[in-house]
Amino acid sequence: MRTFLFLLTAIAVIASGYWVYHENYRTHAELDRVDDLRRDIGAARERLAILRAEWAYLNRPDRLRDLADLNYPRLGLLPLRPDQFGRVDQVAYPALPDPLEISQPVDISSHGALGQ
């Protein structure tokens, strides 16, 4: 009986050692994956910053004004002026629908809902 317990204990130690070894490699693989994801996120943020800078450069008012002047014969674009904008009270909002009339109300009670 004692030999059986020693053998069972030795098998349990070997099995737990294998499991720990396997989990260690899985953990390292996941940590490498996290590092790759962080590197990808950093690269994406750099690309996004570059794209935002390019967008700001391309949307400069003086550049857009020059493009509007250059393409006026073909597109008929006019420069924006302050008098082209309206006020909020000049905006026509759609009318609200008529409220629904409740012709047959239903009484609702929570009495007995929780087993009371």
Distance, CA of 56 to CA of 53 (rounded, Å): 5
In tens, the pLDDT along 44-60 reads 999 999 999 999 999 99
From the CA atom positions of the chain, what is the Rg in Å? 36
| Percentage, residues of the chain above pLDDT 90 | 47
Q: What is the pLDDT of residue 50?
A: 97
Q: Residue 24: enclosing H or E segment and its boundaries?
A: helix 2-58
Q: State the pTM of this model.
A: 0.49
Query: Residue 45, Cα to own-chain centre: how many angstroms?
Result: 14
Query: Which comes out higher in pLDDT, residue 104 or 13?
Result: 13
Distance, CA of 7 to CA of 13 (rounded, Å): 10
Q: What is the pLDDT of residue 105?
A: 81
Q: What is the pLDDT of residue 114?
A: 57
